[in-house]
Amino acid sequence: MATLGFVEYADASAEVRSIYDDIMSTRRTDWINNFWKALARDPVTLRRTWESVKQIMAPGALDPLMKEMIYLAVSATNQCAYCIASHTAGARGAGMTSEMFAELMAVTGMANETNRLASGYQVEIDGRFKT
Amino acid sequence: MATLGFVEYADASAEVRSIYDDIMSTRRTDWINNFWKALARDPVTLRRTWESVKQIMAPGALDPLMKEMIYLAVSATNQCAYCIASHTAGARGAGMTSEMFAELMAVTGMANETNRLASGYQVEIDGRFKT
Amino acid sequence: MATLGFVEYADASAEVRSIYDDIMSTRRTDWINNFWKALARDPVTLRRTWESVKQIMAPGALDPLMKEMIYLAVSATNQCAYCIASHTAGARGAGMTSEMFAELMAVTGMANETNRLASGYQVEIDGRFKT
Amino acid sequence: MATLGFVEYADASAEVRSIYDDIMSTRRTDWINNFWKALARDPVTLRRTWESVKQIMAPGALDPLMKEMIYLAVSATNQCAYCIASHTAGARGAGMTSEMFAELMAVTGMANETNRLASGYQVEIDGRFKT
Amino acid sequence: MATLGFVEYADASAEVRSIYDDIMSTRRTDWINNFWKALARDPVTLRRTWESVKQIMAPGALDPLMKEMIYLAVSATNQCAYCIASHTAGARGAGMTSEMFAELMAVTGMANETNRLASGYQVEIDGRFKT
Amino acid sequence: MATLGFVEYADASAEVRSIYDDIMSTRRTDWINNFWKALARDPVTLRRTWESVKQIMAPGALDPLMKEMIYLAVSATNQCAYCIASHTAGARGAGMTSEMFAELMAVTGMANETNRLASGYQVEIDGRFKT
């Protein structure tokens, strides 16, 4: 079926294979996870998404571990089961300990709580926060 | 009006004042932002929320800057204008540079994008992510 | 401009006026809030939405106050500023006290927090909850 | 168990059967999907929801394919697995090709990303957009 | 693996056991559901979360049934499958009938709909709602 | 202030000006809206975001009007006020009539409602939708 299904490396076009190769070499791994194999049904989206992720997740002012943890905080907020599973693995691979995971979840949970207290109480933005 | 409105320090009960004092001394600041002044209409919620935030945001396996940035990523994901304004200020106070802010937003935006690509493409969780 | 703008009673068609009249008599009030005046640009949506709201919010197994409070909990969760303002007014008109509001917000905030802890920790549904 | 469970055609009341018949004839199909069989536990909700969906999804200024694709974009945004599955099937039945699906997902993903960049950067609405 | 996994009573520390005991005695039940067993990997989060939930869900201006139903409305809004399952069970245990469940879902669904109509139509908050 | 603030054309670097020029020529307009002027504080994000938006929103299997309407449906779902305002303008510029807007909002609202009915009723995905 065209709409659903994964593109395995053995079945991929040369263009898709070159992206798969770049994913594996950039991440120093020997396999491609399902997310990319699903996007590969549309090589344009596969390329754009990978190029963006590669640029954004590279070391910079924030290190890769911190970036993976931010990714996980957003994914937990959005209830994206696939993304939670893949970025939990990614963050652990980048060095997240159990203690860091626990604190990450605590902050994520609390932010989701106070986001609703702020909206529900109709709190106006303080003048000092606008400058 | 009882439901909406802020509790200023001058009008606060002894119980609320003691919490305000703890907020200011913990944060090394001399003012209380509107979020707490709104919650103070219900001292039980004020106390519980502050005690939780105080515990969660203290230095631990993650440093306070990283925690503020995670808070901001969640708040941007949830479109909470108040929280975005207050935690942008908080993160900058904790040392977030413009470069760090830009990368934080880039990761937050990308995570929100791929969260929907993963769900829309109905991507199944890889076996390797389940172990 | 057609897309944005409100339909005031004085300018409304007979069809729209009859819906406005029903809104005011059902709610025992003498004015129409902006939500309905915006929807009135599309009388089909105005009628369907009002008929649905009228049916759903009528007294039944749950009383009108409880229904307004549920509406407010959802609106705070979704960060809909208009809906928070209108349903806070609606709930107070139906008898919500300051104490009830505070507890409603506390539950709403906590639910938003534990929703993310459950997803982030990848908690599996207990067998007992499936029967 | 009353709260969970589906109402099969063979077990349905005359009222529920008449709605099931209308769903099948409107959609030119010979089966009822689980969503309606779950709602049928509450015939009032079943009727209101079906009447609203029937009215909204009928051809109008937008054709049925476009409406199904909008439905899918919202469902992917909300992480509703059931709705994604059912409206992907619905959109494909209405003529969505693989190329259209890929572009739909690309737009949905990008909108979710820029929604957060706009909020995170605290971008003010341009005066030209308000007129 | 440390990050994923549950802490069973038999394997729990004295501190975790005392919290489990309090959960069971407060809820008058003889088992611990997976949510708490997952949080127990981090006793600090387990204790804080349980103490907050215990305080918030106790009878007050709102009764426990109403609180469970609000929890369920939020969980359905957020698409948290675990939370929907556990709080449906909780609400039914607290007395929610099939009729109450149906009305709860109807209000939750409608609120989610009108939240988007209000935002999409860019409805301004009425002056009367601000006072 | 570095973190907040817009980059006007007159103050922009050559790199940012070239992107602004491309935005204006691609969109056949003579001004830059605030979203881009905010992103321009980080030229890397400005370039990547614009290149992605330019690629995704170009005519393809879906026409530009349909793409703008999908963008608007997502933005209304996410309560992003800025994005709703800018993409309402964009969709109208691409030919969206008042009738099309009304139907778009009706579908968006209904999808948000049934997304929660499906989750709240814990509806299982039909076998036919999985093939």
pLDDT tens-digit profile of D84-116?
999 999 999 999 999 999 999 999 999 999 999
- Is D2's pLDDT higher than 90? no
Q: Residue E73's pLDDT is what?
A: 98
Give the three-class secondary structure for B55.
Answer: helix
Sign of CA dihedral D91, D97, D98, D101: negative
Q: Residue F4's pLDDT is what?
A: 62
Percent above pLDDT 90 for chain F: 95
Round to whole Å and give the CA distance between C126 and D49. 31
Q: Residue D5's pLDDT is what?
A: 84
Sign of CA dihedral D34, D40, D45, D49: positive
Q: Residue D131's pLDDT is what?
A: 65
Q: What is the average per-residue pLDDT within E47-51? A: 98
Round to whole Å and give the CA distance between F3 and A101. 29
Given a contact cutoff of 8 angstroms between Cβ atoms, the answer to whether F104 and D70 are in contact is: yes
Q: Is the ipTM of this complex over 0.90?
A: yes
E-strand stretches of chain B? none
Q: Residue A130's pLDDT is what?
A: 85
Percent above pLDDT 70 for chain D: 96
Place of tokens 């510029």: F93
The Cα-based distances of C86 to B122, C27, E112 in angstroms read: 37, 13, 14
Chain center to CA of D119: 27
The 10s digit of each residue's pLDDT in B37-94 is 999 999 999 999 999 999 999 999 999 999 999 999 999 999 999 999 999 999 999 9
Task: Pick B52's closest partner by Cβ from E1, E48, E131.
Answer: E48
Q: DSSP character for B125?
A: P
Contacts of F17 (CB under 8 A, 6+ apart): F9
CB contact under 8 A, C92 and B42: no
Tell me the chain A residues in contact with residue E2 when contact means C-beta distances shorter than 8 Å: 98
The 10s digit of each residue's pLDDT in C53-105 is 999 999 999 999 999 999 999 999 999 999 999 999 999 999 999 999 999 99
Subunits with 3+ Cβ pairs within 8 Å of B are: A, C, D, E, F
B81 in D contact zone (CB under 8 Å): yes
Q: Which of F57, F109, F93 is nearest to D107 (CA)?
A: F57
**Chain C closest-CA separation from residue B53 CA (Å):** 12
pLDDT band, residue D18 (cuts 50/70/90)? very high
- Is C3's pLDDT higher than 50? no
Q: Residue D128's pLDDT is what?
A: 94
Task: Pick D122's closest partner by Cβ from F4, F70, F123.
Answer: F4
**Chain B closest-CA separation from residue E42 CA (Å):** 12
Is-above-0.95 flag for pTM?
Answer: yes
Q: What is the average per-residue pLDDT within E12-34? A: 97
pLDDT band, residue E4 (cuts 50/70/90)? low
- Is A122's pLDDT higher than 60? yes
pLDDT band, residue C5 (cuts 50/70/90)? confident
Task: Pick B45's closest partner by Cβ from C88, C96, C102.
Answer: C102
Other C-beta atoms within 10 Å of F51: how many?
15
The 10s digit of each residue's pLDDT in B26-37 is 999 999 999 999
Low-confidence ranges of chain F (pLDDT < 50): 1-3
